[in-house]
């Protein structure tokens, strides 16, 4: 078993020329993304990635590809997801990898892959990049789940290629990347058929797969290439992407990693290992606000909102994967409130008509969603010199608690201004959570009057006492109390059960309606994580550990 | 309002240099004074000969003067800090003690302090009307001394809440003034502190038995790894000793007077002669002792075990104990009732910590009984007073729900109830005691049911004018 201590540090850096498992070919409006897994290319030793099966390393490349297609290839209007291997699309997550992995590794792996699949759907829905799964061979388990994230699923009709979710019958676990949810929610497969499908290890092929709505179309082998090209062209034709758009380049992130933290240009994390926490600071914009959208394109990845979002995304992923024992994240911002609002206005003004600005907004939305499903205690500290304004205020609202200093710290000079919050239109729906609500809408769920009242406060600087009255912060201690209140609160937090906290926070963060996306995290993932720790899956005689040994799993037959 | 801190509030916690404390106390102090005026002693006085703590040293602690009670200088004192002090017990034994509240234990420590703090003003409230029937100026003065010191103990707990528990602590400090003894809507936390102290015999019993429980609780908190709590309690223990003295000598004098009347009239039935019969004294002992035992909580307690393991609350004289101070492998024997029999059982020592403290308390209580019996012996009276069995009249812990006689027989409910009036004060007993309660405010004079003290306060004679009336 791998443990957190012998787990290698995971990096999420990659780019197409470094891919080991994917081939990306852009031809005009159509991109082909072909899975071609290097069996010997596992991210950790101990298993071979046979049958086009994947691990975290494969998914890191897939995530990179989804991002580059959106930012570097605005000309792409349809993405064909297929396999470079003959008669085998993808066998899903590698079983030996799962069997040897620690529980946190499995959970993190599933969370990240889920986020990437949600990102694929987001590209289809919001970027005019329609993803089409072209299953040129069998898609099993996670392989079929990858296809489910696409808008259309085409299956080759060769009398042997099938789609299947064999996790339950073969492995004693669930299809953990949204399979069960998408089959019924998105593809509207009848529940009894879904039940048969998810317990039949060989899956379903041919006409039945279409009849059961598991795929959209089966295509004979002879017509395969042509049909796939046609479907892609048709999808591209429906795209809203502008013609002649020039992509921007996403250069490698510059970061300095030390034992005590990670420093990027606009984001910084300092580790306080003894206290089990990390202090994250997001720095507000520097330099001139672009006066035209052309200037935004010129700046490209250097445009502060995008640069900051990329860094924050990378930081969240690294902390989640590599720093399991830093259980509390303190979130601060630092910068000028006016500048933050000025940059935000650029986003708000152009996100409708400029593809890049639109991409940036959706990217920030996805990163905020990552924060929402992060199993760490998130605490926002709002101090003088911070810039929780508009979009950046979402960072605070994503946190489990918000503490705002009233007035100044005694030792500070009394110059400058006390801590302030500013609401903007962005806080009322521009960055929805997975439940479809804004963070304010979630915070004041069922209380539309308050939300409406807050809407009238947009643009105004709100200081601590008022923020407290408006319900925007948890507490607003003054300089006399601040240090003690914060210290005691953090120490108290650190003494609580990490598992109970994860469960509690996940429950509190998502109120109200469920969406397919929220159900994947709240229901599917929660059940999966329970099953993962049960002996029937991960015990020495459990199905996951016995898979491929020639021996049958020995189940504890009690239903729980 | 502004306060001249060092003058108005004697302290050794650098109040003048601590803005946080100042602010907290500035809003709390007026409320405290209002509380004192409405819930404190009901008898109006001009001034009282009181001891005021002005420093922690020997002399500073025993500063006597006539002061108007509402101008009493309630101070904040902690015993001197020992900078090498280390945690003496529990999981973190040997580590340096804490000068700040660790967040992990905030809730538990705050709860312990609030419960302790709640008892302090409660007893003032319970005793507020007693001054109206004081048997002498000397006793009236002692009552007021106990009252102002309970008030100071409240200050001590409030100091800890203010200095170390932030906003939450301030709210709890406020609530200490909002709960009132016997209040139907907002009573004091512990049941025993919601009963009025109706007469002086009850007052002496209370200061002997119930304040003694307080002494033992303070003793366990004095061991706490949270150093400011430890140092606060150490200083409070010195004052608590005076309250115990009031109880011990009070009962002494009731017993002495009873013996005197018994000899004078050659009868045990001294009620008609204006005395308190020894039977009644015994019943008061039975009642107050058993109620005070309940304050220790259940003999078997996981809370106490958790507090010990965490270092929050030690054992009585922890550092003098000869064991590993961790107790995870130790066992203790406790008495209990099983299958209709009084028997004993071995349980993990950690779970028996309340029992351990209670046992220390019981042997301490016995010393008072010896003393009172010596008074009887010297007076040539054959009758002796006794402590009832620990299981007698218990409503908390392993004996609750069982019926145990003062001599330790387990009997049925009917048998027990049939003898209740022989063991516990009856309405008639209480009425008799109450009829004796007439104020005697003339210097040097004393009520007929109690003997005068052998010494005055601070070497003053008994007929000294300890209290001036307006």
Residues of chain B found within 8 Å of residue A492, distances taken between Cβ atoms: 103-104, 106-107
Average pLDDT taken over every residue of chain A: 94
A:480-499 residues touching chain B, CB 8 A cutoff: 480-481, 484-485, 487-495
User: Tell me, what's the pLDDT at B182?
Assistant: 87
pLDDT of A3 > 50? The answer is: no
What would the pLDDT profile of B343-382 be if each residue is shown by its tens digit? 999 999 999 999 999 999 999 999 999 999 999 999 999 9
> Chain A closest CA to B371's CA: distance in Å?
49
With beta carbons less than 8 A apart as the criterion, state whether A140 and A167 touch. Answer: no
pLDDT of A31 > 60? The answer is: yes
Residue from B166, B167, B228 to probe the interface with A (highest A Cβ count within 10 Å)? B166
pLDDT of B455 > 70? The answer is: yes
pLDDT of B222 > 80? The answer is: yes
- φ/ψ of B139, rounded to 5, equals -70, -40
Neighbours of A281 (CB within 10 A): 18
CATH number for the domain harbouring residue B102: 1.10.620.20
If you classify domain A16-237 with CATH, what class do you get?
alpha beta
- Tokens 């696409």, located at residue: A150
User: Tell me, what's the pLDDT at A391?
Assistant: 96
What would the pLDDT profile of B423-449 be if each residue is shown by its tens digit? 999 999 999 999 999 999 999 999 999
Q: How much is the average pLDDT of B144-155?
A: 94
Q: Do B167 and A481 touch (CB under 8 A)?
A: yes
What would the pLDDT profile of B166-180 be if each residue is shown by its tens digit? 889 999 999 999 999
Segments forming the whole domain that contains residue B238? 5-468
Q: How much is the average pLDDT of B326-341?
A: 93
Q: How much is the average pLDDT of B50-72?
A: 84
In the structure, what pLDDT confidence band is assigned to residue A525 with cuts at 50, 70 and 90? confident
pLDDT of A1 > 50? The answer is: no
DSSP lists the bridge partners of residue A92 as A53
Please give the CATH superfamily to which domain A256-504 belongs.
2-enoyl-CoA Hydratase; Chain A, domain 1 (3.90.226.10)
Residue of B nearest to A485 (CA): B166
Q: Do B167 and A492 touch (CB under 8 A)?
A: no
For A388, which DSSP code? E
pLDDT of B56 > 80? The answer is: no
Residues of chain A found within 8 Å of residue B164, distances taken between Cβ atoms: 484
User: Tell me, what's the pLDDT at A5?
Assistant: 46
With beta carbons less than 8 A apart as the criterion, state whether B346 and B331 touch. Answer: yes
Q: What's the N-to-C CA distance of chain B in angstroms?
A: 28
What would the pLDDT profile of A43-68 be if each residue is shown by its tens digit? 999 999 999 999 999 999 999 999 99
SS3 A34: strand
With beta carbons less than 8 A apart as the criterion, state whether A535 and A544 touch. Answer: no
Task: Name the domain count of chain B.
Answer: 1
pLDDT of B2 > 70? The answer is: no
Q: Residue length, chain A?
A: 560
- d(Cα A10, Cα A56) in Å, to the nearest integer? 9
A:390-449 residues touching chain B, CB 8 A cutoff: 410
What would the pLDDT profile of A429-466 be if each residue is shown by its tens digit? 999 999 999 999 999 999 999 999 999 999 999 999 99
Q: Name the strand (E) or helix (H) holding A93.
A: strand A92-93
pLDDT of A482 > 70? The answer is: yes
- Extract the tokens encoding A506: 């996940």
Domain boundaries, chain A: 16-237, 256-504
User: Tell me, what's the pLDDT at B381?
Assistant: 94
pLDDT of B1 > 70? The answer is: no
* Fold match between domain A16-237 and domain A256-504: yes
What would the pLDDT profile of A119-156 be if each residue is shown by its tens digit? 999 999 999 999 999 999 999 999 999 999 999 999 99
What would the pLDDT profile of B122-147 be if each residue is shown by its tens digit? 999 999 999 999 999 999 999 999 99
User: Tell me, what's the pLDDT at A4?
Assistant: 42
User: Tell me, what's the pLDDT at A496?
Assistant: 95
pLDDT of A410 > 80? The answer is: no
In the structure, what pLDDT confidence band is assigned to residue B4 with cuts at 50, 70 and 90? low
Q: How much is the average pLDDT of A198-212?
A: 95
User: Tell me, what's the pLDDT at B137?
Assistant: 97
Q: Do B166 and A484 touch (CB under 8 A)?
A: yes
- φ/ψ of B160, rounded to 5, equals -60, -45
With beta carbons less than 8 A apart as the criterion, state whether B216 and B237 touch. Answer: no
pLDDT of A495 > 60? The answer is: yes
Q: Do B104 and A487 touch (CB under 8 A)?
A: no
Q: Do B166 and A493 touch (CB under 8 A)?
A: no
In the structure, what pLDDT confidence band is assigned to residue A6 with cuts at 50, 70 and 90? low
In the structure, what pLDDT confidence band is assigned to residue B3 with cuts at 50, 70 and 90? low
Percent of chain A residues past pLDDT 70, beyond the cut: 98
pLDDT of B5 > 80? The answer is: no
């Amino acid at each position: 078993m791998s443990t957190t201590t012998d787990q290698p540090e995971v990096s999420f850096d990659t780019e197409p020329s470094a891919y080991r498992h994917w081939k990306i070919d852009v031809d005009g409006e159509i991109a082909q993304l072909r899975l071609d897994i290097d069996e010997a290319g596992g991210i950790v030793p101990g298993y071979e990635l046979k049958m086009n099966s994947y691990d975290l390393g494969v998914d890191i490349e897939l995530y990179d590809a989804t991002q580059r297609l959106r930012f570097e290839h605005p000309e792409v209007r349809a993405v064909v997801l297929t396999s470079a291997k003959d008669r085998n699309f993808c066998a899903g997550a590698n079983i030996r990898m799962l069997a040897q992995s620690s529980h946190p590794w499995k959970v993190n792996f599933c969370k990240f892959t889920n986020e990437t699949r949600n990102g694929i759907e987001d590209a289809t829905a919001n970027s005019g990049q329609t993803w089409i799964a072209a299953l040129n061979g069998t898609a099993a388990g996670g392989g079929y789940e990858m296809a489910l994230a696409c808008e259309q699923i085409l299956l080759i009709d060769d009398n042997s290629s099938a789609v299947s979710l064999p996790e339950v019958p073969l492995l004693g676990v669930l299809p953990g990347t949204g399979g069960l949810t998408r089959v019924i929610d998105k593809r509207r497969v009848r529940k009894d058929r879904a039940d048969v499908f998810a317990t039949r290890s060989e899956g379903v092929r041919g006409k039945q797969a279409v009849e059961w709505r598991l795929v959209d179309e089966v295509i004979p082998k002879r017509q395969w290439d042509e049909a796939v090209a046609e479907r892609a062209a048709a999808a591209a034709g429906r795209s809203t992407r502008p013609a002649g758009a020039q992509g921007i380049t996403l250069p490698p992130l510059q970061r300095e990693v030390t034992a005590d933290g990670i420093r990027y240009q606009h984001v910084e994390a300092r580790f306080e290992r003894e206290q089990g926490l990390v202090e994250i600071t997001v720095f507000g914009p520097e330099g001139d606000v672009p006066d035209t959208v052309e200037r935004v394109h010129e700046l490209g990845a250097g445009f502060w909102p995008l640069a900051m979002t990329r860094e924050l995304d990378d930081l969240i992923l690294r902390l989640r994967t590599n720093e399991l024992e830093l259980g509390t994240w303190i979130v601060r911002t630092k910068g000028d409130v006016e500048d933050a609002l000025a940059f935000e206005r650029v986003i708000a003004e152009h996100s409708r008509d400029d593809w890049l600005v639109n991409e940036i907004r959706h990217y920030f939305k996805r990163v905020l969603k990552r924060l929402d499903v992060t199993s760490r205690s998130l605490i926002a500290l709002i101090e003088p010199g911070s810039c929780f304004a508009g979009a950046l205020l979402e960072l605070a609202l994503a946190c489990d608690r918000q503490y705002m200093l009233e007035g100044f710290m005694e030792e500070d000079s009394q110059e400058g201004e006390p801590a302030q919050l500013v609401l903007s239109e962005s806080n009322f729906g521009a960055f929805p959570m997975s439940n479809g609500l804004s963070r304010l809408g979630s915070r004041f769920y069922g209380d539309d009057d308050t939300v409406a009242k807050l809407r009238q406060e947009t643009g105004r600087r709100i200081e601590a006492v008022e923020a407290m009255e408006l319900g925007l912060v948890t507490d607003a201690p003054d300089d006399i109390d601040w240090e003690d209140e914060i210290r005691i609160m953090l120490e108290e937090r650190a003494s609580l059960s990490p598992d109970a906290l994860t469960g509690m926070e996940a429950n509190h963060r998502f109120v109200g309606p469920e969406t397919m996306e929220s159900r994947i995290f709240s229901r599917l993932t929660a059940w999966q994580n329970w099953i993962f720790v049960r002996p029937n899956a991960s015990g020495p005689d459990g199905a996951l550990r016995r898979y491929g040994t020639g021996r049958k799993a020995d189940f504890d037959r009690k239903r729980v | 309002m502004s306060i001249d801190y060092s003058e108005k509030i004697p302290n050794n916690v650098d109040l003048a240099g601590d803005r946080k404390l100042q602010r907290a106390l500035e809003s709390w102090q007026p409320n405290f004074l209002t509380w004192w005026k409405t819930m404190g002693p009901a008898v109006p006085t001009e001034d009282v000969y009181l001891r005021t703590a002005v420093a922690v040293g020997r002399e500073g602690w025993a500063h006597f003067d006539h002061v108007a009670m509402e101008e009493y200088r309630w101070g904040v004192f902690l015993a001197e800090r020992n900078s090498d002090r280390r945690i003496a017990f529990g999981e973190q034994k040997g580590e340096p003690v804490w000068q700040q509240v660790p967040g992990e234990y905030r809730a538990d420590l705050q709860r312990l302090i609030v419960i302790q703090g709640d008892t302090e003003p409660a007893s003032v409230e319970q005793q507020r009307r007693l001054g109206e029937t004081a048997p002498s100026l000397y006793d009236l003065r002692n009552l007021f001394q106990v009252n102002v010191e309970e008030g100071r103990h409240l200050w001590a707990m409030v100091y800890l809440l203010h200095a170390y528990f932030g906003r939450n602590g301030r709210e709890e400090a406020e609530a200490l003034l909002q709960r009132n003894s016997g209040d139907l809507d907002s009573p004091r936390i512990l049941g025993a502190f919601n009963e009025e102290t109706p007469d002086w015999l009850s007052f002496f019993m209370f200061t002997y038995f119930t304040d003694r429980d307080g002494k033992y609780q303070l003793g366990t908190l004095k061991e706490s790894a949270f150093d400011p709590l430890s140092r606060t309690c150490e200083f409070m223990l010195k004052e608590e000793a005076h309250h115990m003295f009031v109880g011990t000598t009070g009962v002494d004098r009731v017993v002495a007077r009873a013996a005197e009347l018994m000899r004078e009239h050659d009868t045990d039935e001294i009620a008609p002669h204006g005395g308190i019969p020894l039977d009644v004294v015994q019943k008061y002992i039975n009642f107050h002792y058993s109620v005070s035992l309940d304050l220790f909580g259940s003999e078997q307690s996981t809370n106490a075990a958790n507090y010990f393991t965490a270092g929050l609350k030690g054992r009585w004289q922890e550092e003098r104990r000869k064991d590993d101070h961790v107790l995870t492998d130790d066992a203790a024997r406790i008495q209990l009732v099983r299958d209709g029999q009084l028997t004993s059982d071995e349980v993990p020592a950690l779970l028996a910590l309340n029992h351990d403290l209670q046992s220390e308390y019981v042997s301490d209580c016995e010393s008072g009984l010896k003393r009172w019996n010596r008074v009887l012996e010297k007076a040539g009276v054959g009758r002796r007073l006794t402590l009832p069995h620990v299981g007698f009249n218990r409503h908390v812990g392993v004996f609750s729900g069982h019926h145990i006689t003062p001599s330790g027989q387990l009997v049925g409910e009917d048998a027990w109830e049939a003898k209740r009036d022989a063991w516990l004060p009856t309405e008639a007993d209480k009425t008799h005691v109450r009829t004796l309660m007439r104020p005697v405010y003339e210097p040097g004079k004393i009520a007929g049911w109690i003997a005068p003290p052998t010494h005055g306060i601070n070497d003053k004679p008994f007929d000294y004018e300890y209290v001036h009336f307006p």
